[in-house]
Structure 1
Amino acid sequence: MRFDRKISVWTRVKRAALALDAWLSASAFDSRRDLETVWRRYTAFTDLFRARGAARVVLDLASEGVTLGLAGATVMLALAIPAFYETQEEWRRTEELAVTFLDRYGQEVGRRGIRHDDSVAIDEIPEVVIKAALATEDRRFFSHWGIDPIGTARALVANSREGTVVQGGSTITQQLAKNLFLSNERTLDRKIKEAFLALWLEFQLSKNEILKLYLDRAYMGGGNFGVVAAADFYFGKPIGEVTLAEAAMLAGLFKAPSRFSPHVNLPAARARANDVLTAMVNAGFMSEGQVQIARRNPASAIDRGRETTPDYYLDWAFEQVRDMARDGHFGNQRVLVVKTPLDQAMQRRAELAVEDTLRQHGERYRVGQAAAVLMEPDGAVRAIVGGRDYGQSQFNRAAHARRQPGSSFKPFVYATALSYLPYRPDSTVVDRPICLGNWCPNNYNRSFSGAMPMITALARSINTIPVRLSVELGEGDAKRGRARIIETTRRMGVETPLADSSSLPIGASEMTVLDMAAGYAVFANGGERARPYPTVEVTTQDGVLLYAHDRDAPRERVLSTGVVADMNTMLVAVPERGTGRRAAIDGIRSAGKTGTTNAYRDAWYAGYTGNFVAAVWFGNDDFTSTNNMTGGTLPAMTFKEIMTFAHGGVEPRPIPGLSDDGPAVAGGGPATTASIDPQVAALQRNTLSRRSFEVVTGIGSLFEEARTPQGFREGRAPGPAALAAQPAGPGGFQPVTR
């Protein structure tokens, strides 16, 4: 039968959809059946490997071990990557520069550079020197792969038995990794990098190459690096002629070159050498009979007249010269003579001031380290104290340690405010509660003083005022205001990156002592940036001038003269009537600011005269708290001692923007109203004569000292309430400032 009726499009679509649905259903059914078949075959196959009982336990543990191992490997890789970044440069290359440093009078003070590298081949170093080094530093050196768990465990047992550190756990490879790539800062991050770099060195170098580099790079005291230089310095002979007794004395210097230097303490050096001989016997390197002659005839060092070198200064100067060379300042010249601004007398006095202060008061305040920088207002660095003992730790705390500055940072905030806002020293600011989010800064006495002149707020270290200024600088946006503060601080010479946090205005962000000195130098020189520099002139060995600071260094104004004058007007109040009275220099007017951080971890005093700028820090390397030490105690006292010596025989220059009618009165009393600016004079009104005022002030100071425990904690300064030195400080985690 024939049908002529045409099938509609819609009918065709429905039929096609039904056909597709049927195909999908059939395919799904068939696929399910096929998958079931595959799964049955797979399970049948895996059943062949099914383990039961003890075998299953072992396999489960192995599986967990693989999983944990992969996770651990991922963590280890993440930790290793920062360490391997240190090896990106051509680390095998011998340091190209050979630099001779002269002091400001043209006298040679030291050398840095290639004189320390590869002077004698490893097979020319006597066997007794190598054995002595291995016995004391790493007996299993030729057995381990960079890290020695057995040696570390042995050191832990020995140290726990003695109750002190008598053995080190680091291998020679780890110590070389630190010398080649890392600093001496004692941090967990450095130890992790050190371990990975030690493993890396073991793959890159032979054992003899590692040992040779270590013997060339180890600091041996007296500014000498390596056993070759040490043999010449201590015994006046080449390394090849060193005896067993002398080799033992050299090996004793590796861990504590200052403490066991024969020039410093010959009995201690000989006792240490005897311990090295014992270690050589215990390690099986020599017999007791072989070392008896050395025990009976200990080594003696030649007389060097207790020579000392400014090693912290020279290390920092060499870093600066090396950076300048990389920037092309010296062309292709690599043998250089650098005349520095270093004043050796000031350097020694600064070192002595730090050591004397720590020796006298360190135990009382539970503080063990300090750093100081002395420089001219243009940035010429006269002295650097990077720590208490270079022989014990070569880490330069003045140049590289980053610590919270506390209230010593506030002048940067006030300088920014004076630059952008219509404030003057006598402008009224209000100390009242303020919160940024859930952070609310408090003053030290947990109270608020209301309206006061800006000069009083800075002298009393009021915490709320800098925070309020940061909000005003940002026109209501504190973050924008802090950005202005950071920019001003950077332009003033602080090179350490500042962390932007709510507590930045009261000194929560870390900086170095050199940063602090550079920033305060802007106030001392009238508003120009003062980059700390060690290069007055750089010449070739033949005397060809390559660089002169006066000729080649750029000058940049960062603060107006008006802002500088206002800041100096406020900062002179700190040593004259505020928290820094112990920093007042007899007969010379100075300005400055104290700083003390949360939990008394860091204490600062930074200040200046028209002649010099100095910054002083006291604290502990492990960031532990001191015993209530403030910036107005040990730092201020050390500042005064350093600056008093520096001004000996020097014609005092006026502080920019201030009248020079008379210096500050010694002993912390106020200057006469005739010798200070009108804004300050307006805040100090009395009817006594100058002599009467000094007498009354002196009596008040005596009573204050008598009331203060140990005579070292800061109290209120005599005088008007507007300039009372009431400290302000912590409110939670933010820095305390005094």
Structure 2
Amino acid sequence: MASVPPPKRSRLRRFVVASFKVALGALLIMAIAVGVAVAVAVNQLPSYAELIRRDDLGQMVRVRAADGTIIHTQGPSFGEWLPSNDIPQIMRDAIVSVEDRRFYSHIGVDPIGIVRSLIVRLQRGFWAQGGSTLTQQLARNIFLTNDRSFIRKVREAILAMALEWRFSKDQILELYLNRVYFGGGAFGIDAASRRFFGHSAAQLSTGEAAMIAGLVKAPSNYAPTADAAAARGRSRARVVLGEMVEYGAITPAQAAAADPEQVQIARNTTVGTRTRYFIDWVMPQLDTLIDETVQPIDVWTTVHLGMQEVAERAISANAPEGVQGALVSLDRDGAVRAMVGGLDYRTSNYNRATQATRQPGSSFKLFVYLAGLEAGLTPDTPILDGPITIGRWSPRNSNGRYSGPMPMRQALAYSVNTVAVRIAQQVGTQTVADMAQRLGITTRISTFPSMALGASEVRLIDMVRAYATVARGGVGVTPYGIRRVTTADGTLIYQHQDDQSRVLLQPWVAQQMTDMLAGVVSRGTARAADLGRPTAGKTGTTTSSADAWFVGFSSGLTTGVWMGRDNNRPIPGFSGGQAPARTFHDFMVRAVARRPVEPFATDAQAPDWPTGDAENSLLEVVPPDDQGQMVDQDGNPIERQQPEEEDPYGRDAARPEDQVPEEYQEETY
């Protein structure tokens, strides 16, 4: 009997079988390729100890005031790293509930989640759900960017599986919760908890945990850093609580009790704009002090928040309408305790305390008189207050009168211009310029005659530095704002050292100058600055009252005040003995209130000068004629009048550079 041949397979069946084999082979090859890729990735992964470092997120810089208060943050904000066992279970449940319910069962990627997101994509026509697991999000945050390319998604999946192979679920969740960005500059749940609720993440309540877990989806939209955002954050937290109930982490009753409306959002504890002028000045100095650019650091500064607040109030209360003001206050070692660069940082971030160069008026006479003291004069040396003409320039006193010979201390107290010009001419304007730069003036000092009256522009912080050197007995003072820099764990990487070896003035020179400056406050043009304790300083007012100054010191604190208009327009009737001196008083009376009263040292002895009347020969003081009548250098009679005690705030008439005769405008310094 002939055998029956087997039925021929249909073409469709053969095609299906062949396709199945090809697909199976392709899947096998793909699985092998993925396995190899994951194995390679596992070998290339950093160790867990390396992963818990957050250097790759950028350097975090926290700037602190003298009392440790954080006044500025720069870069990402990190809290404490919480080990897995210290992370509250409610926080773990909240993040898993809303972000990855199958976290504890998948291998780094979730096929069910991927299929679900594909179905939603087909239904809606756009990607409405993400299929990324917590592990994939972690891989993206640590190793990848946020671009949406297919290649990035493949790499993300491979890295996620490598992480699952290399580390435990608890380790992965610990990494995630300590590294993910939660908005407001906060990386990690501890930074977020401290930023938004004011306490450690170890103390999170159910409502707070739900709010933090809800931030991952859109940190910038839900971070409760403002009222509107807080409202959105609370709304998102209700969604998270619902997910937690569905996940089984909490009961409906617990969800109802964890009312997001009752969650207290912490107020922003940073100082805001109050110290911004100081911060803008101090932050660029970091590059010259330390080399650390990776590890989080704390910058401990010198600014005293109480003094800073008083300084701003004093400037605002005394500055006339339309007039800007600036203030710098240095402690005896140069530590900047307060800095005001203008009336309002929000409207103008131009720092008039450190950047602006303005004519100092008679406050510049400090350097004239210091040069005179070093040349052999004393506070009691009589100097002629009479007409003087240099070329075509004839400086005058503010009251238009002359008083004949008067002691230097009296001439400084009443800011007599002719005396200052005579001293500068005799010792040499170059000598005066050298003195100014020796004590820290960094701007160019011209040597034409009117420089004696403050015609060259200077910076406020430099003037305060110079006066602080006098207050310190001649030991050089350098303003500084950074006391120390530490890493986040407290390791010291920079410490300021006070250099007391730079003696710029002999003690007797500094003490005699201090004695004269005290007279300016007690009986001269700066009575408004008197603190009721030993106080010394000098007023300054320029022509047309465009600039008004007072710089002085008491009880180890030196403070300078400048007021004027940014456009240099004059302010009629304005002078350094008025608003600036009152500002100095209002600030200093509070700033030194808890400091001991310090009498000025005046017992240092000047050296014995060579035989002869060095003072008169130096300054060629003109004696009275035979009838006792005071005469000027040309023999003309001088009407002798005493300064008016009732009007101590007379303007110091400094001649600006643009009014100096052409023959004296040539720069020689």
TM value normalised by structure 1: 0.50
Give ranges in structure 1 of 5+ residues lacking alignment: 1-93, 116-226, 251-261, 264-300, 474-480, 660-714, 719-723
Counterparts in 2 of 1:371 and 1:726: CA distance versus 1, 3 Å: closer
Partner of 2:148: none
Q: Which of 292, 302, 305 is the aligned partner of 1:344?
A: 305
In the alignment, the residues of structure 1 paired with residue 394 and residue 357 of structure 2 have an alpha-carbon distance, to the nearest angstrom, of: 25
Q: What is the distance in 2 between the residues matched to 1:307 and 1:317?
A: 16
1:611 Cα deviation from its structure 2 partner: 1.9
What is the aligned partner in structure 1 of residue 368 from structure 2? 413
> How far apart, in 1, do the equivalents of 2:67 and 2:481 lie?
14
User: Using a 3 Å threshold, how does the CA distance of structure 1 residues 732 and 103 change in structure 2: closer, same or farther?
Assistant: closer
- Specify the alignment match of 2:526 in structure 1: 580
Q: 1:111 to 1:485 in 2, by over 3 A?
A: farther
Deviation at 1:392, TM superposition (A): 1.1
1:108 counterpart letter in structure 2: I
* Maintained 8 Å contact 1:459/1:725: no
Find the residue that maps to 1:618 and give its secondary structure: strand
Say whether the 8 Å CA contact 2:469–2:475 is kept in structure 1: yes
Q: Where does residue 441 of structure 2 map in the other structure?
A: 494
Match among 324, 330, 341 for residue 375 of structure 1:
330
Q: Where do residues 302-701 of structure 1 align in structure 2 (5 Å cutoff)?
A: 303-304=267-268, 307-308=271-272, 309-325=274-290, 330=291, 335-358=296-319, 362-363=320-321, 367-419=322-374, 421-473=375-427, 481-550=428-497, 553=499, 555-586=501-532, 588-657=533-602
Q: What SS does the corresponding residue of 2:422 show, helix, strand or coil?
A: helix
Instruction: Provide, for residues 563-620 of structure 1, a one-character-per-residue CA deviation record: whole Å limited to 9, x for no partner.
Output: 111101111011111111111013x110001111111111111000132110001111
In 2, the alpha carbon distance for the partners of 1:463 and 1:239 equals: 71
Q: What secondary structure sits across from 2:539 in the alignment?
A: strand
Distance 1:590 1:334 in 2: 45
Q: Which amino acid aligns with 2:542?
A: T
Aligned residue type for 2:466 = G
In the TM superposition, residue 333 of structure 1 has moved relative to its aligned partner by 7.1
Amino acid in the other structure paired with 1:527? G
Flag the 1:582–1:333 CA change in 2: closer, same or farther, 3 A. Answer: same
1:733/1:104 Cα in 2 relative to 1: closer, same or farther (>3 Å)? closer
2:653 aligns to what?
730
> Which of the two has higher C-alpha Rg?
2
**Which residue of structure 2 aligns with residue 111 of structure 1?**
73
Q: In structure 2, what is the Cα distance between the partners aligned to 1:334 and 1:437?
A: 63
Give SS of 1:608's match: strand
CA distance, structure 1, for counterparts of residue 534 and residue 527 of structure 2: 12
Q: Which sections of structure 2, spanning at least 5 residues, go unmatched?
A: 1-55, 78-182, 187-191, 198-211, 231-264, 605-642, 660-669
- SS in structure 2 of the partner of residue 503 of structure 1: helix
Contact preservation (8 Å) 2:328, 2:561: yes
Distance apart, 1:106 and its partner CA: 2.8
In the aligned structure 2, how far is the partner of 1:337 from the partner of 1:234?
Answer: 21
SS of alignment partner, residue 62 of structure 2: strand
How far, CA to CA, are the matches of 1:96 and 1:716 in structure 2? 64
Q: Which amino acid aligns with 1:573?
A: G
CA contact (8 A) 1:350 1:385 kept: yes
- Cα displacement (A) at 1:735: 11
* Structure 1 residues 653 and 484: alpha-carbon distance in aligned structure 2, compared to 1, 3 A threshold: same
Cα offset for 1:545? Answer: 2.4
The CA distance in 2 between the partners of 1:626 and 1:112, in whole Å, is 40
Q: Measure the CA separation in 2 of the matches of 1:303 and 1:461.
A: 51
Counterparts of 1:238 and 1:517, CA distance in 2: 50
Q: What are the superposed Cα offsets for residues 617-640 of structure 1, whole Å, 9 maximum, x if unpaired?
A: 111111111131101111111100
Evaluate the alpha carbon distance shift between residue 543 and residue 630 of structure 1 in structure 2; reply closer, same or farther with a 3 A threshold.
same
Instruction: Decide whether the 8 Å contact of 2:453 with 2:655 is kept in 1.
Output: no
CA distance in 2, matches of 1:446, 1:735: 22
Deviation at 1:241, TM superposition (A): 5.6
Report the RMSD for the aligned CA atoms in angstroms. 3.8
Separation in structure 2 between the aligned mates of residue 249 and residue 409 of structure 1, nearest angstrom: 51
Give, in whole Å, the separation in 2 of the partners of 1:584 and 1:446: 27
Do the aligned residues in 2 keep the contact of 1:387 with 1:397 (CA within 8 Å)?
yes
Listed one character per residue, the Cα deviations across residues 478-515 of structure 1 (whole Å, up to 9, x for unaligned) are xxx22221221112122233233321111011111111
**Distance of 1:508 and 1:239 partners within structure 2:** 62
Distance 2:196 2:444 in 1: 43
For 1:445-485, what per-residue CA distance to the aligned partner results, in whole angstroms no more than 9, with x for missing partners?
22322211001111111112222222211xxxxxxx22221
Q: What is the distance in 2 between the residues matched to 1:318 and 1:618? A: 25
Cα offset, 1:731, TM superposition: 6.9
CA separation in 1, counterparts of 2:412 and 2:581? 17
- The alignment covers a number of residue pairs equal to 406
Contact 2:184/2:225, CA 8 A, preserved across alignment? no
Equivalent position SS for 2:497: helix
| 1:316 alignment partner AA | W
Amino acid at match of 1:347: Q
Kept after mapping to 2: 8 A contact 1:432/1:464: yes
Change (3 A) 1:111 1:241: closer
**Aligned counterpart, 1:137:** none
Change (3 A) 1:422 1:242: closer
The answer to whether the 8 A contact 1:373-1:616 is kept is: yes
Contact 1:525–1:656 at 8 Å: present in 2 too? no
Whether contact under 8 Å (2:415, 2:652) holds in the other structure is yes
Distance 1:234 1:404, change over 3 A: farther
| Structure 2 contact 548–580 (Cα < 8 Å) conserved | yes
305 and 538 in structure 1: CA distance in 2 versus 1, 3 angstrom threshold = closer
DSSP 3-state at the match of 1:371? strand
Cα 1:447–1:619 change in 2 (3 A) is same
Could you tell me whether the CA contact under 8 Å between 1:459 and 1:578 is conserved in 2?
yes
Supply the distance in 1 between the matched residues of 2:491 and 2:562 (Cα, whole angstroms).
39
Which amino acid counterpart does residue 450 of structure 2 have in structure 1? S
State the Cα deviation string for residues 97-119 of structure 1 (Å, max 9, x = none). Answer: 7532222223322234688xxxx
Distance in 1, matches of 2:565 and 2:449, equals: 26
Matches of 2:521 and 2:558, distance apart in 1? 14
The match for 1:280 is: none
With 646-655 and 384-393 compared, the bigger mean Cα shift is at 646-655
* Cα separation, partners in 2 of 1:466 and 1:538, compared to 1, 3 Å: same
Contact 2:66–2:301 under 8 Å retained in 1: yes
CA contact (8 A) 2:70 2:270 kept: no
| Aligned residue identity for 1:555 | S
Pair 1:390–1:426, CA change in 2 (3 A): same
C-alpha deviations, 1:56-102, integer Å up to 9, x for none?
xxxxxxxxxxxxxxxxxxxxxxxxxxxxxxxxxxxxxx999753222
What is the distance in 1 between the residues matched to 2:302 and 2:557?
13
